[in-house]
Structure formats: C-alpha cells, structure tokens
Structure 1
C-alpha cells in the first residue's frame, strides 16, 4: 500500500490522546451517598494495586477511529495486487525548428527503436522521417505544454521533453511531469538581439546563456546583441530620504552593486536644479514623474502607478527591512534597474536551478485506485463512529 500524503501518517501519534483521557476519567471518583458506609471501612482502607481498565472496547474503538482518520487523510493507494505495467518511452518535442535541428540525431534514433516521438501540440501528432513536416506555433506556451503532458498516461511513461529554454516557461508556477522524466533544452538565440549595458572600465553587462547577469570585458560572441548599448556612462542617481540611516543603507547597497557588477553611479544626496536623474530612490511619492527615470519608493503601501515606479512598504534599514537585514538589498535594487533598462529578461534562458524547480515530478494514482480504497475506508470509518456512539451511550462513558 502506498500513500499520496505519507507525512500525514505522523498524525497517528494522536492515538495517545484518548488513552490519556480514559485513564484521567477513571481517576475522577464519584461520591455516592450510602448509609452502610461503616461496614465497608476495612475494604476502603485496602490499597488498590495496578491500573484497572474499564470500557476497554470503547477505548479500542476510539483509538481505531483516530488511526482510520489519519489513514484516510494520507490517501492510501492499493496497488500491491497489480502487475507493474510496461514503461513506454515518449519523446515530447516543442514545435520548433531550433529544437528539431539540435536534437535531430536523438529523435531519429528514438524512432528507429520504436519509441513514441510526438510534437507537443493539441493532437500529439507523431513525428515522421521528415522532421520539418510541422507548423511552428508562435502560440506555444507553458499551458499548451502542460495540456500535452496531461494527455499522456503519466504512470506508464518515461517522458523525454525537448524544449527551447526560455524565461517564458516561468509564466506558470510549476509544470507537472511524470515521475520518470528527462529534460533536454536548447537556447534559441537566432533572430534575437539581446540588450546590454556598458559599465565602469568599459565592461559589458548582460544576461548570459545560463540566465545570469554578468559583467565581463567583452560580449559573448555566441550571442547576438543590439548594435548599441541600452545605457552607457554613469547612472545619475538621486537619494532623497528623510532618515539618515535609510539614506546610508541604500548608498551602501549601490556601492555593493558597483563592486560586483562595475555599475557606475553618480550619486546626489540633494536634488540639483536642472539636472535629470536616471534613478530616484526616495521615501516620498514624487509630485511629478518623468517617464525617463526609474523611481524606487520605500515605506509606502503598494499603489497602482506607472511601470517605472516601484513601491515597497518597508523602510530600507536593517531594523525595518528583511532585504537590508539579510544582505539582499543590493540584488533587489539591481533587479529594479535591470528591468527598467529593458534588458529583455523574458527571452533570456532560465538557469539550471530555475528549470529544476519549475518541473515537478508527480506520481498520482489512477482515479480507480484512489477511489476504491478511499470509499471502503470511509464506510468503515462511519461504521466505527456509529459503534463508538452506541457504546458511549449505553455505558454512559
């Protein structure tokens, strides 16, 4: 027998509760007025040895009720009498020329072995000898991928999934896949121009193939970039906080960004007339907004505003902000600037860690397996509950 939620079985320890209540209830004596008490004086003075268990049947039924309830919540699956089915290898391929070109050899070999090779489309069309006999879909999305996976018999399948590694996959919280699962991804940089920044010492800041932000002397020659940087030269910043501690904390976070990514900041702590700022960090809602500037406003409840305004309800000090206390403030501020700089992160690939957390293997039982044992245990639970009520009323316990 297997359980869908085996950790709930720890709840069986609660069986100690009715046992403890039973012993405690027995110790509570009941005074009964009786005129012949004097004749029982000798019997009353005798010591009672050991513990007497009264209403043992009722105690056993109550313990069984608790154990049965825990088993029901753990959702058992009875599959010991079934022969394990044959596992079929299925190769599910995103309808993409890049994927077909990159994994042509693997897919051809799989077809020669008689394994199932299909496109991840609505009909799960099989791939023939000509890998290009398909209509590439610009509408391919994580939801369409999940629908294709759900059409497979997840318990009898070893799934090999072939995809373009794109941040668009993370549009959903998770993608459920069979327990036996292998992921094959490729980064599609064809026809995709990536943005970059020129930072201190003429270093280039961009998102690399693994989805990480890097600052290196030269651009990656295997990727295609825009002909000109999104931004070059110092980033003109205005810090305008009422609290000196918050001002110093944010200033130190910007210095950390300079150390790690060589971002060059020109910081003013008081506004300079007729000077335009690339980034304004403040704890006050600005009366006038510039579409060219990024605003990071702290200590303010989340408001609906323009895309270049970020709100946080925390004051950015170690005492009031988890970001500052845990040292994550520089990374968070850097992310705000990267988004504002139109870095095109939606087209950047996911890191291996992000991919691993996105695809969640599941081994759900069939509806017949799950419903059969659940219904039988539910009937047994109701029957035991009726027996417990009958014993409790008849024995006044």
Structure 2
C-alpha cells in the first residue's frame, strides 16, 4: 500500500465538522408541547444545555464520507491491484565491453524475467548482446535519456565503470534512486605526455595515475617545456603575494618554474572575469562568480567550495592551481574512481513522479463514496434532519 500525496491527510481534520454539527444540534434540542407540561414545576421543566451526540449512525456515515473524500485526494495505491507493468524493473547498461562482460549473468537474468534492459545512451536504445549504440556514449546529454524512463519504477539498476565522469558533473533526476553495479576492472587511462622542466627533468604521470618526475630521454611525447609565463591582474597585493607563495611551493615539489610578465602570460591570475578570452591561456579567478565559465577559466572558490581565506588557511592553493594547470598543458592523470555511495549522491529522486500516477483505488473509493452518500441522505430524510 502506498499514498501518492500523504500531505493531504491533513484533510482528516475536517472530520471535526460533522461532529461539531451534531453536538450543536444536540445542544439546541427541540420544543415539544404536551398537555401535562403545565403540571410540572419550574425546575422540572428547565431545558438541558449539555452537549449530546445524537443519531450516532448518521454521524458515523458522515465521518466515513469525509474520510473517503480525503483518501480520494491522497491517492491510495495497492500494488496487488496494479498491472504487472505498472511499476517495471529497468536496467541501464553502460555501452562498454568490460561492463557488459562482467555483468552478463545479471543482464541475462533480467531479460529472462521480462524486465526492461536498455543501453545507457542517447534515446535509451534497447539492449542487444554485443550491439553497442553508435556514437560516444559520454557525449550525449544523460538527463534527457533518463527523462525517458517511466514515471513509476519498481527499481532502477545501472551498470557502469564507476568513474568520476561516467555521469557528468551535474546532478541527475530519476524516478527512483538507482541500484549501482560498479565494475571491479580498472580501465582508467592516463596521458603519457610529459612537460620538460629542464634539459634532464620531466614531469609525467606514472602507472598509478600520480604526477612524477622522470629523466627518460625521449622527445616524442614532450608537449611543453621551459618556464610558464604568469601575468597578474589583481587589485589586492596580498592576494598576489599568496599566489606567488603557491607557485614557489609547486616549484619546490614538482620543479615547475614560473616567470612573471606584465601581459601576455600563458597563465593569468585575475579578480575579474576576463573581457577577452584566449583559448591559448588559462585563467584563474580568485573571487566567486555565478557566471557559467569556459573550460579555460577556473574559479578557485567555486572549485574548492571554500572561501579564499579558508583555502589559504588549509594550504590548498598550490593543489588547486596545479591540477587544472597540468590538465590544461596536456597531462591527464587517471580518472578518479568513485565509491558506490559517492555515485549515489549524483542522483536525486523526483518526488513529483508520484503525482503523475493515477491511484488504482480511485474507482473503488468513488463507488464507496456514492453508496455511503446515498445511505446518509436516505437516513437523514427518514429522520427528517
């Protein structure tokens, strides 16, 4: 049993209306003249002003009618009254060879049970063994695909690699929080490109996906070399000093050197959104902004979720600068693998999805209402009330 709009149960407070009416009618009473009235004393003929509930059967019918109206508004749903396909079980499979291979048994079991299985791709195409949908599955707008799901689901199962960018960076709205099946295989890729620090030292990514210093003499994968030119456009000189301290820390640990120039630097530090945006430059904003930023404009406060003062206090500024900097230059560490709990946080259940469902008890309650209303009118007429 399920209630589609339980907040409307507040309507049960209206039961007090027929009770109040019956109490009031019992208090008022009726005046009946009869011959022996004149022989009674004053105290004996005094009317009673106490509250009395009369005609309890009629009162019960009226209370029951009001309760039925509330249940009609709330929307009562009984699973045993629904059809078999009223709340389907849906499986979404990431179009990946390793994912399909690892969860082949679960997918085949779902198909045998008649459950719905789709590729997690544009348009939610039906699943076919080994027949992957065309195109890059990560480039489509996932929310539009999820919007194609039925409004009411028994359960939703998603099979994926469990990587950070599997579902994008935005929250996803679904009719039911999914049961996530994450691959145990490590398919994370990383860049083999290198940054030349000097003639003998290079910055690259190791097999575990972490930045490392190496001295291998090869130039085929060299993407950048030399010092990185930095230009400042800041009003607050204290912020400038803090940024210079962060650059010194990066240089000390990773060997990346920075050269300050008046303008035209590859790295631009500013407290205002750049009027002209060059794709050849990386911009760091030190103040929060609600604007939608291009990929080469990084808002440090929004990126960390902390204020500038908190970033400085926790010593996070070098890390917040280094990660997007090496990514901009062309070194991409391994994509982060998320836990199931972290992936679940990407999904929000749409409570409004229940509003789209029609209660399967509506006809039964309506028939019961009409029967009770007819009985109440007949009984009230017989009692001349």
TM-score (norm 2): 0.50
Task: Note closer, same or farther for the CA distance 1:228–1:107 as it changes in structure 2 (3 Å cut).
Answer: same
- Alignment RMSD: 6.8
Kindly state the Cα deviation for residue 288 of structure 1 after the two structures are TM-superposed. 6.6
Kindly state the Cα deviation for residue 149 of structure 1 after the two structures are TM-superposed. 5.8
Q: Which structure would you say has the larger Rg?
A: 2
Is the contact made by 1:203 and 1:216 (CA closer than 8 Å) also made in structure 2? no
Q: Which residue of 2 aligns with 1:193?
A: 191
Matches within 5 A, 1:25-174: 74-79=74-79, 92-100=92-100, 102-103=101-102, 106-107=103-104, 111=108, 115=112, 120=119, 123-127=125-129, 132=130, 134-135=131-132, 137-140=134-137, 141=140, 142=142, 146=146, 150=150, 154-155=153-154, 161-166=158-163, 167-170=165-168, 173-174=171-172
Task: Note closer, same or farther for the CA distance 1:351–1:227 as it changes in structure 2 (3 Å cut).
Answer: farther
Q: Distance in 1 between matches of 2:275 and 2:110?
A: 68
Task: Note closer, same or farther for the CA distance 1:110–1:170 as it changes in structure 2 (3 Å cut).
Answer: closer
Is the contact made by 1:15 and 1:63 (CA closer than 8 Å) also made in structure 2? no
Count, aligned residues: 325
Task: Note closer, same or farther for the CA distance 1:333–1:83 as it changes in structure 2 (3 Å cut).
Answer: same
**Secondary structure in 1 aligned to 2:270?**
strand
Is the contact made by 1:92 and 1:161 (CA closer than 8 Å) also made in structure 2? yes
Q: Distance in 2 between matches of 1:346 and 1:137?
A: 27
Task: Note closer, same or farther for the CA distance 1:231–1:80 as it changes in structure 2 (3 Å cut).
Answer: farther
Task: Note closer, same or farther for the CA distance 1:89–1:176 as it changes in structure 2 (3 Å cut).
Answer: closer
Q: Which residue of 2 aligns with 1:324?
A: 307
Q: Which residue of 2 aligns with 1:348?
A: 335
Matches within 5 A, 1:274-353: 276=265, 278-282=267-271, 284=272, 291-296=280-285, 298=287, 302=291, 308-309=296-297, 323-324=306-307, 327=310, 338-339=323-324, 341-342=327-328, 348-349=335-336, 351-352=338-339, 353=341
Is the contact made by 2:15 and 2:66 (CA closer than 8 Å) also made in structure 1? no
Task: Note closer, same or farther for the CA distance 1:197–1:80 as it changes in structure 2 (3 Å cut).
Answer: farther
1:282-321 deviation per Cα after TM superposition (whole angstroms, max 9, x unaligned)? 2x5667766424141637774x886544579x9xxxxxxx
Q: Which residue of 2 aligns with 1:38?
A: none
**Secondary structure in 2 aligned to 1:12?**
helix
Which structure 1 segments of 5+ residues have no match?
27-42, 220-225, 315-321, 385-397
Kindly state the Cα deviation for residue 372 of structure 1 after the two structures are TM-superposed. 3.5
**Secondary structure in 1 aligned to 2:79?**
coil
Which structure 2 segments of 5+ residues have no match?
25-42, 215-219, 373-385
Is the contact made by 1:12 and 1:66 (CA closer than 8 Å) also made in structure 2? no
Residue 174 of structure 2, aligned match among 170, 173, 176 = 176
Is the contact made by 1:239 and 1:280 (CA closer than 8 Å) also made in structure 2? yes
Is the contact made by 1:160 and 1:184 (CA closer than 8 Å) also made in structure 2? no
Q: Which residue of 2 aligns with 1:15?
A: 13
Task: Note closer, same or farther for the CA distance 1:277–1:154 as it changes in structure 2 (3 Å cut).
Answer: closer
1:88-114 deviation per Cα after TM superposition (whole angstroms, max 9, x unaligned)? 9876533333334x51xx525864898
